Amino acid sequence: MKVKLQHIAFTLLLITSAACGKRSTDWFRYYESQYKSPYGTYILVEELEHQFPYSYVDKITGKLNESMQDYLYNDNTAYLYINSTIYHDSSEIQQLLQFADQGNSVFISSTNFNQPVLASFGIEISNYAGSKHQLSLETPDGIKSCEIETRSGSFHFFSKVTENSRILERLGSPDSKLPVLITIPRRNGGRLYFHSEPILFTNYHLLNKEVGPFAFETISVLKHTENFLWDNYHTRRRYTQADSNGENEGMLRFILRNPSLANALYIFALIVVLFLTFNYKRIIRPLPIFKKPENNSLEFMKMVARLFMYQDNHIDLARSRINFVLDQIKNKYHLDTSVTDEQFQFKLAQKSGLKPPELENLVWQINTIRQLGTLNKNDFIAFNSQLEKNIKKLDLYHGRITT
C-alpha cells in the first residue's frame, strides 16, 4: 500500500509540474465569440450591447437557410460576419442580399472575397507591407484616425471596388486611395458593408486604448444598429475540422490546444504505459496457504502406546482398555457401569441379545483388572486377546442401538 501511494504522489507531482509550466500564447486566428485568445472576438460580442445600449445581440448557430427565416422581415438590424474567409455558399449570400433589401445592414469583414456571388461586385484585395499602419474613418462627427500595429507585417485593403460604393475607412491619411471599409447601397435603404481586415475587431486590438474605441467607431458607422445578428456558425473550424460545430469545443480539443495541459496528458499516458509494462501484476496482499487438516488421532494413539511400552506399565494400560469398554457399553446399551456384578451381566445380556454365560468371561476380566496391582506383559497380551473377542461379541465398534 505504501509503494502504491508513492506512485500516486509521483504521478500527481509530474502532472502538477507540467500544468504549472509556462503557457504559451495562442495566436491562432479563430474570430469566434467564445475565444478569449488574442485573435478571438469575445470582447467585441460582449461589448456590443454596452456600446449600443438600446440594442440586443443574437447569435446565429445554425445554417442561414434555417436561422435567417426569423429575421428576413426585420428592419434596422445588422448582420455581422468577421472571419479571414467567407464560408457561405451562393444561396446563403443571396439570402443575405435579400435581408439587406428589407432595409437592413450586412457587415462582412474578411481578407478573401472570392465567394462567387460577392465576386460579382468586382471587389479585389491586396496587401500593404509594414507593421504599423494609420487608419482614417469618416464618421458623422468628422474624421477619426488611429495607428495599428500588426504582427503579420502587412495590412489588407481593397485594390478594386465597385463604382457605386462609398469609401468610409482608408489605410493611411483621409486622402488615401487605399479603401479598408466600403458601403454599397441596396433597396429600401439597406446597406452592404465590406471590410478588408478582420483583425481590427479581435481581442488583441480591442484592448488597445487607441485601437479599441476606433474599432467600435467602425461598427457605429453602420446605418442599422438597433439589433445585431452575430454569425457564429460559418467558422473556420467548422469547415476545416469535421467534428467542429461552431459552439464550445470539446474537452480533448481544449486540452490539446493548451500546451501545458497537453504535456500533462502526455506524461500521464506515459506513466500508464510504464506502469502496465513494468508492474502488470496485481498488487494485492499475500493469499494465505490453507493446508488440508491432518488426522492426528492415530498419531496420538501411537504416542500413548509408546508411552506405556517404554514405562512397562501394563496394568494401567489394561485399566484404560477396561474403561474404554465400559464407556462404550454405557453409551450403546445405556447401562450403569459403576458396579459390574451378576445383575449387570444379566441386563447386558438382555440388551445385547447374548446369553448370560457368554458374558461371564467379560465381567470376570473387568473385576479382575480392577483388583490387580500389577500385570506382566504375557498376562496383558492374553487379557487383551480375550477382551477383543468380547468387544466383537457386543459389537462395540459400531453404532448405537435403540432401546
Average pLDDT over residues 18-37: 77
* The predicted structure's pLDDT at residue 242: 47
Query: What DSSP character marks residue 20?
Result: T
Which residues in 370-392 are b (16+ Cβ under 10 Å) and which e? eeeeebeeeebeebeeebeebbe
Query: What DSSP character marks residue 356?
Result: G
Which residues in 102-132 are b (16+ Cβ under 10 Å) and which e? bbbbbbbbbbebebebbeebebebeebeeee
Which residue's C-alpha cell is 478571438?
40
* Cell representation of residue 52: 449600443
Average pLDDT over residues 13-27: 63
Q: Name the pTM for this structure.
A: 0.58
* The predicted structure's pLDDT at residue 374: 83
- Find how far residue 287's CA is from the centre of its chain: 32
Neighbours of 350 (CB within 10 A): 12
* The predicted structure's pLDDT at residue 308: 65
Q: Give the Cα separation of 99 and 321 in Å (integer).
A: 120
* The predicted structure's pLDDT at residue 40: 92
Element (H or E) spanning 230, and its range? strand 227-231
Partners of 52 in the beta sheet? none
- Minimum mean pLDDT among 181-185, 192-196, 302-306: which range? 302-306
* The predicted structure's pLDDT at residue 120: 80
* Cell representation of residue 194: 465590406
Res. 153: pLDDT tops 70: yes
Query: Which CATH architecture fits 26-248?
Result: 3-Layer(aba) Sandwich (3.40)
Res. 22: pLDDT tops 60: no
User: What region, left, alpha or beta, does residue 291 occupy, with left being phi > 0 and alpha being psi -120 to 50 degrees?
Assistant: beta
CA angle 241, 113, 35 (to 5 degrees): 40
Taken as a whole, the chain contains a residue count of 403
* The predicted structure's pLDDT at residue 340: 85
Q: Give the Cα separation of 119 and 50 in Å (integer).
A: 35
The answer for residues whose C-beta is within 8 angstroms of residue 74's C-beta and 6 or more apart is: 102, 104, 227
Q: What stretch(es) of the chain map to CATH 3.40.50? A: 26-248
* The predicted structure's pLDDT at residue 5: 52
Most confident segment among 234-248, 266-280, 301-315, 339-353: 339-353
Which amino acid belongs to residue 67?
S
Q: What is the sign, positive or negative, of the torsion defined by CA atoms of 11, 17, 18, 20? A: positive
* The predicted structure's pLDDT at residue 246: 43
pLDDT tens digits, residue range 206-260? 999 999 999 999 999 998 888 899 998 888 766 565 444 444 456 777 777 777 8
Query: What DSSP character marks residue 246?
Result: S
Contact 334, 403 (CB under 8 A): yes
Contact 158, 124 (CB under 8 A): yes
Helix %, strand %, coil % of the chain (to 5)? 45, 15, 35
pLDDT tens digits, residue range 371-401? 888 888 788 888 888 888 888 888 876 654 4
Average pLDDT over residues 291-319: 73
Contact 375, 314 (CB under 8 A): yes
Q: What is the sign, positive or negative, of the torsion defined by CA atoms of 200, 205, 210, 213? A: positive
pLDDT tens digits, residue range 87-132? 888 888 888 898 999 899 999 999 988 777 777 888 889 999 988 9
The answer for residues whose C-beta is within 8 angstroms of residue 275's C-beta and 6 or more apart is: 7
Res. 309: pLDDT tops 70: no
pLDDT tens digits, residue range 52-97? 888 889 988 888 877 777 776 777 899 999 998 888 888 888 888 9
* The predicted structure's pLDDT at residue 19: 53
* Cell representation of residue 389: 473377542
Task: Name the pLDDT band for 10 (thresholds 50, 70, 90).
Answer: low
Look over the chain and give the mean of its residue pLDDT values, rounded to a whole number.
Answer: 82
